[in-house]
Copies of this chain bind each other. A is one copy, B any other.
Amino acid sequence: MHIFSKACEYSIKAVIFLATRTESDQRMRLREVSKAIGSPEAFTAKILQQLVRQRVLKSVKGPGGGFCLQEDARNIALYRIVLAIDGDSFFTDCAMGLKKCSETQPCPIHKKFRPIRDEIKEMLINTTILETAKSVQKGECVLKFFKHRE
């Protein structure tokens, strides 16, 4: 099990990538995006479509077309993308699968797990696309693994 679905992993990477290139509404084609983040092209197409529908990205068809961020998308939090693609079930459902897990009727790890889960949520809420994009631009982190250098 992983915390994010593949679709969500690709979404976050794609949006960060576009944020590193959208100084001036520069458009990136599907192929460029999937190359940059190391994701399967056809599957990435579906995901970028979703992000357009969710108003995180804009798309333009035809020659010179491609994808770029929606106007204010540089300032959104990673959490917004997670919500758009995976929903909030990780943050609301019981880790042990209880239909209802509350303070009054908790699962055996509720008390210990909940604060940690909330930390993850806070982390995603407090981390912006802009900040991660800058970090990528500075070379402090990457969106796909490079065999040599970087």
Contact = CB atoms under 8 A, between A and B. Distances in A.
B135 A98 contact: no
State the main secondary structure of chain A at its contact with B: loop
Give the oligomeric copy count.
2
B113 A123 contact: yes
Given A4-B96, A105-B142, 11 more contacts: A2-B97, A12-B108, A98-B142, A101-B145, A104-B150, A108-B136, A109-B127, A110-B141, A112-B123, A113-B120, A116-B116
Interface in A1-55: 1-6, 8-10, 12-13, 16
Interface of A: 1-6, 8-10, 12-13, 16, 78, 86, 89-90, 93, 95-101, 104-110, 112-113, 116, 119-120, 123, 127, 132, 135-136, 140-146, 150
